[in-house]
Amino acid sequence: MTERRVRRRLAVWLVAALVGVFTVVTPAGAATTCTLTFKANYRGDVGSQHRWQVDATLTNTGTTTSTTWQAVIDFPLSSGAVIHQFWNATRPSTNVWGPVGWNGALPKNQRATFGFDIGMPIPNTSPPLPTSSSCTITY
């Protein structure tokens, strides 16, 4: 090999090494901020329950598009409330909600909307809004 080729290869390796040193890597699964809001609409009485539709909106307040999201929502289910159905979300456990295939990737400042049909005992006339909630977005 000529001296010129050796120098050229050495220069390429040096540049590659320097670029690797200055590359910024975002950790996989880094969670940032999001907001979660609710709106309850009375739907009428069915049997011994008041039926409510609760619409939830999760907004990506981060700086880039998400790969997925998760919401943890505590409803007053111990007081006799029953979630009859839900839409635009998955429910891997009682209080945890996640995206369906098409609404997990949220560009910054965009929203995923999902909802629940909840039955509350007749004596309870207040809307079944969450007692607590939180959300995370993963990039």
What is the structure's pLDDT at 31? 57
Residue 9 DSSP SS3: helix
Confidence of residue 41 (pLDDT cuts 50, 70, 90): very high
| Triad 118, 39, 84: Cα angle to 5° | 15
Confidence of residue 19 (pLDDT cuts 50, 70, 90): very low
Q: Which residues contact 139 (CB under 8 A, 6 or more apart)?
A: 26, 29, 30, 32, 62, 64, 65, 66, 67
Mind listing the pLDDT tens digit for each residue in 52-92? 999 999 999 999 999 999 999 987 665 677 889 999 999 99
Cβ neighbour number for residue 69 with a 10 Å cutoff: 24
Mind listing the pLDDT tens digit for each residue in 1-14? 555 544 444 444 33
What is the structure's pLDDT at 128? 77
What is the structure's pLDDT at 3? 57
Mean of per-residue pLDDT scores for the chain: 78
| Triad 110, 39, 43: Cα angle to 5° | 130
Residue 102 has pLDDT above 90, yes or no: yes
* Token pair of 62 as six digits: 């981060």
Cβ neighbour number for residue 16 with a 10 Å cutoff: 9
Average pLDDT over residues 2-28: 39
Three-class DSSP labels, 34-51? EEEEEEEEEEEEECCEEE
> Which range is least confidently modeled, 32-41, 46-55, 124-133?
124-133
* Token pair of 63 as six digits: 């700086």
Confidence of residue 96 (pLDDT cuts 50, 70, 90): very high
